[in-house]
Chain A
Amino acid sequence: MRESVLWSLIVVFVPFSLVSIGGGPSIFAGIQHQSVEVYHWVTAREFVDLFAIARAAPGPGSMLVTLLGWKVAGWTGAIVATLALFVPSSLLCYAVTKMWNHYRGRHWHTALEEGLAPIGAGLILAGVFAVFRIAGAGIMSWAVAGISAAILAWRPKLNPLILLAGGAVAFAFWHGM
């Protein structure tokens, strides 16, 4: 049972590692689908909580998978999930980095860069949408998201922790403590 869970973590996260163009946000929609609806590792509610925790913590937002692994199989699960998500993409990156400098300025170099960019952007948009849908978002969620986006566009260097804290306080008061 335990081994089969660890194996599932690998089977799910390794492919995501290799298609996460544009970073973590592009695969949140897919990870949500797999871990909530397919494997039932967490409920939709728990997924949103883990998402918020991963965003509030330091490091890449895709540390979300560390929490999913930890939730499912403790420390071993956390380590297996983290390695499954970060090692494949890093090995690929290592190989490409070595070649990259060798072929700088070539045709395929430009084509890859230009061809993958719109897919990455589309995936990030889908990620925003997916998290909102599962959160059962009301008007307040949209307002907080919109306002923090506006503030960040206006002051890009603002520490995002301040925005997270602002959103938390706004919600705590809105729902009457």
Chain B
Amino acid sequence: MTQTPGPVPLLSLFFVFFRVGLFSFGGGLAGWVHREVVAQRGWMSDDDFFSGLALSQILPGANVTNLSVYIGQRLRGPAGAACALVGLVIGPFFAVIALATAYAQLATMPWIQNALTGAAAAAIGLLLVVAVKGARNASRRLVPFLILVATFVAVGLLQWPLVPVVLALAPLSVAFAWWKASSNA
């Protein structure tokens, strides 16, 4: 993989992420970003990309906005991160409001309500796939599995407020991973 000579223009960075943001519906955005940034343009190596992908998934925030910040930062520093992030979000910002406006005008028709309920149910199916993937990874060992169950019970079933639950469980979970890694070393 050859790197492009000289710094990547900020405008190119903006438009690559603008396109990814506007045309990739319902997830799978990371695959598209890889295609644009690594496969087609050679702006960074595979290793660079995948380590950034892992990082963007463990940090708080939408995975794909974090990925855009990571790539922008690696290529052009603060300005690059800002261009990539704004490029990614600005298209969907207007698209989502346009869709909601159209919906408000159509909401008087009852079948629209039913259709939207159906679309929401299908969208939950997409979430379910991601949830199962995450649960399968966590259940390989006992303690991470217990942490997962505790999180689900507290937030999902008992409806405890999310922020304190995460603040209580995260140090426990990270401390365990730390201890395990230390005792293996």
The closest CB in chain A to the CB of B29 belongs to A60
Nearest Cβ on chain A to B55's Cβ, whole angstroms: 6
Q: How large is the interface on B (under 10, 10 to 19, 20 to 34, 35 or more residues)?
A: 35 or more
Chain B contact residues: helix, strand, loop or mixed = helix
B123 touches A164 (CB 8 A): yes
A117 touches B134 (CB 8 A): yes
A23 touches B121 (CB 8 A): no
Considering only residues 91-127 of chain A, those with a C-beta below 8 Å from chain B are 92-94, 96-98, 100, 104, 107-108, 110-127
By a CB distance below 8 angstroms, the chain A residues around B110 are 175
A125 touches B156 (CB 8 A): yes
B42 on interface, CB distance cutoff 8 Å: no
Chain A contact residues: helix, strand, loop or mixed = helix
By a CB distance below 8 angstroms, the chain B residues around A92 are 59-61
B123 touches A129 (CB 8 A): no
A93 touches B64 (CB 8 A): no
Q: A78-B93, A116-B170, A165-B119 are in contact. List 15 more A-B contacts (CB 8 A).
A: A30-B163, A60-B62, A86-B65, A92-B61, A97-B70, A111-B174, A113-B177, A115-B173, A124-B131, A125-B151, A135-B121, A146-B125, A149-B132, A157-B28, A163-B126
Chain B residues near A (Cβ < 8 Å)? 21-29, 51-52, 54-66, 69-70, 73-74, 78, 81, 85, 88-89, 91-93, 95-97, 99-100, 103, 107, 110-111, 114-132, 134-135, 137-138, 144-145, 147-152, 155-157, 159, 161-163, 166-167, 169-170, 173-178, 180-182, 185
